[in-house]
Every structure is written in C-alpha cells, then in structure tokens.
C-alpha cells in the first residue's frame, strides 16, 4: 500500500488515448442524436448505462490461472425484468426466472464463509488475491461472478442488460446457498451492492468495501457530463431504468439508508486518492455514513490495482480476522503508512 505522502508519477501523452478518443466520438454522436432523434439518444444512453463490457481476455486468463479454486454453477431465481415492465399484461408480477451463477471456492470447506463480489464489468478473479489470503488463514472464500459477468448466466433483464439489483439479489441468493457470512467483501459496484444486501438482511460479522460508490443517481449525472448528453436525456434514461424494474434508483442511495442503523457489522472502507472511476470523497462519505467504519486512504493504486496490492490484501485479511487495523488506527495512522480515519 503506497504511502499517502507519496506522489504517483503519470506520464501524459500529447495524443489522446483510445478511451479519450472513444469518449470524444460518443460526445459527437450524442450531440447529433439529441438534435435529430432524441429518443435514439435516450436508447443509446440506456445501452451504455446498462450493458457491461467484457474484460480483457488476457487479464481474465491470468486471473483464472491464479485462482485454482473449485468452480461451481449455482442455479438461482431472479425477478423477470425482461420487456418494458416487471408485470404482465394483467398487472401482476411476472414469475421469477432462473439463471446460473458461477462461484469459485477457495479454502477449507467448513471454514468461516466470506463472500467476495466484483464490480461492474469485472469478474470474480479480480478478488482472487484477497480470496487466497483468506483461504490460507482457514476461511472459505466464495468468489461470485455477478449475472451477465464472468461465467455466470443472464440477469433479471436478460442476457445483454443489467442493473444494480442483479448484483445484490445474486449475493443474497448465494448466501442462502452457502450459509451465514463471516464477512462480505465488495469492490466498486459490488461493494455498494454488498452493502445493500447487508442492509436487506444478509448477516455478516464484518464488511469490507473497496472503491465503492454510494449514489447511482449521482453517477448518472457524472456519466452524462462525461459523454455530453443533456439532463433531459439523462432523466429519461433513468425513468426507463426505473420503469423496467419497478424500483427507483433513489432507493439505492446509501447514506439515507444507513442513517439510524445500529445493527450493522464493523466495516473497513479502502479508497485510493487517485481513483479515476469513483472519487475519493465517495469513500469518505460512505465511511462517515456507516456506523463505526474504519477508513483507509491509499495513493497510486487507482480503481483496480487496489485489489491486488499486497498491503491492501493483508489489511483486508487482518480486518476480517479481527487483527491489524485496530492497533494501527490507535497509533493514528493506517497500515504501511496509509492515512486512516475512524
């Protein structure tokens, strides 16, 4: 874990990279669509919002080589959100649909269970370093591929689209399959959805949130600003999302849900100051909202490398085991020099 006093060195090219060029193209496309075909602009925004991208195949291959756990497919039920609404023509809820969720199991069969959930467009192998550290200490690590991710089947909206509830509902179903959680660990959107699952009744003695967002509504505004589409398009995109699943995005804003809760497990929140995807202030907001949370700020690890940094992995494992972080905080600093705040 890099010291908070260290400064990462970024070599900036004068020429825009592939991501910058793609963003510039999308801004031009939205500029045209909003003028000549506003409904198509909403549909394009909806597709970008709801369709996960496939991770780099070489990264997945390397991750699988390092996993070495038993892989199972677990059949679960999810709401049927295919079509325009979650109800049939007569207004009654559609029957649930089934899908297969891939999990990778590390560690002794009868060890305390820890569930690990990746973020949007991620896969279970990203959390394998933490899973292996826990397995070596006698824990049963259950690494989950969310619907429409990794080796799992479709989510509630079918094989192409997904939204936040797919993640939390899948975690809740897998927890029913493998038993009570000693801990839950989530990265990015998987962290937010792990928090939702705990708030909805998944019992855990500890919770760890890595680079996790707290407000999907704010994220839609960030997305609109980055891609250059209007508030009108954004609002209609959100309305489409809410109509399709029958759930308002505002019900997933974490700080109001956490207010007044006294039944939550101790939480460790780790966030990097150089995270380009989920800003550092988001982690601080979650730490303030979660009762008694511990917050560790890292530097130079960005959004994904935080998952495989040796010191972060050790810190997460020690927190789940009930060692390490508390003593470091009493000394007024985080593990290996990272800034910490209670």
One DSSP character per residue, 95-146 reads PPEEEEEEEEEES-TTSPEEEEE--TT--GGGGHHHHHHHHHTT-EEEEEPP
Locate the domains of the chain by residue range.
16-50+218-251, 55-215+253-341
User: What is the Cα–Cα distance from 50 to 159, expressed in whole angstroms?
Assistant: 11
Would you identify the CATH topology of the domain 55-215+253-341?
Rossmann fold (3.40.50)
Give the global pTM: 0.88
For the stretch 298-340, pLDDT in tens is 999 999 999 999 999 999 999 999 976 543 343 333 343 344 4
> What is the pLDDT confidence band of residue 237, given thresholds at 50, 70 and 90?
very high
Token pair recorded at residue 154: 């479709």
For the stretch 106-129, pLDDT in tens is 999 999 999 999 999 999 999 999
For the stretch 250-273, pLDDT in tens is 999 999 999 999 999 999 999 999
User: What are the φ and ψ backbone dihedral angles of 113, each rounded to 5 degrees?
Assistant: -90, 135
Confidence at residue 19, expressed as pLDDT on a 0 to 100 scale: 75
Q: Of 72, 194, 81, nearest to 140 (Cα)? A: 72
- Residue 158's CB: how many other CB atoms inside 10 A? 16
> What is the pLDDT confidence band of residue 77, given thresholds at 50, 70 and 90?
very high
For the stretch 274-285, pLDDT in tens is 999 999 999 999
- Only one residue has tokens 């390490």, namely 324
């Amino acid at each position: 874990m890099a010291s908070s006093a260290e400064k990462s060195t970024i070599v900036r090219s004068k020429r825009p990279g592939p991501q910058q060029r793609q963003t510039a193209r999308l801004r031009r496309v939205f500029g045209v669509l909003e003028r000549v075909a506003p409904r198509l602009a909403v549909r394009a925004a909806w597709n970008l919002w709801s369709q996960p991208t496939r991770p780099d195949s070489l990264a997945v291959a390397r991750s699988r080589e390092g996993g070495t756990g038993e892989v199972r497919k677990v059949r679960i039920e999810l709401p049927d959100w295919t079509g325009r609404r979650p109800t049939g023509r007569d207004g009654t809820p559609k029957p649930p649909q089934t899908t297969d969720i891939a999990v990778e199991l590390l560690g002794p069969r009868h060890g305390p269970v820890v569930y690990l959930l990746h973020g949007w467009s991620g896969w279970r192998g990203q959390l394998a370093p933490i899973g292996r550290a826990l397995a070596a200490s006698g824990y049963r690590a259950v690494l989950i591929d969310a619907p429409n991710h990794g080796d799992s089947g479709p989510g509630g909206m079918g094989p192409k689209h997904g939204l936040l509830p797919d993640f939390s509902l899948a975690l809740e179903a897998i927890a029913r399959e493998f038993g009570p959680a000693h801990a839950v660990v989530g990265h990015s959107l998987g962290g937010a959805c792990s928090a939702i699952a705990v708030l909805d009744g998944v019992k855990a003695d500890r919770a760890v949130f890595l680079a996790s967002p707290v407000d999907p509504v704010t994220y839609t505004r960030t997305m609109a600003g980055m891609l250059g589409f209007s508030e009108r398009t954004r609002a209609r995109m959100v309305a489409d999302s809410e109509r399709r699943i029958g759930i308002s995005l505002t019900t997933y804003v974490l700080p109001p849900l956490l207010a007044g809760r006294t039944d939550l497990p101790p939480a460790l929140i780790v966030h990097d100051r150089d995270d380009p995807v989920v800003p550092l202030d988001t982690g601080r907001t979650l730490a303030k909202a979660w009762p008694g949370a511990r917050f560790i700020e890292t530097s130079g690890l960005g959004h994904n490398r935080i998952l495989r940094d040796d010191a972060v992995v050790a810190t997460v494992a020690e927190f789940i085991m009930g060692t390490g972080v508390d003593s470091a905080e009493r000394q007024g600093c985080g593990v290996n020099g990272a800034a910490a705040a209670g």
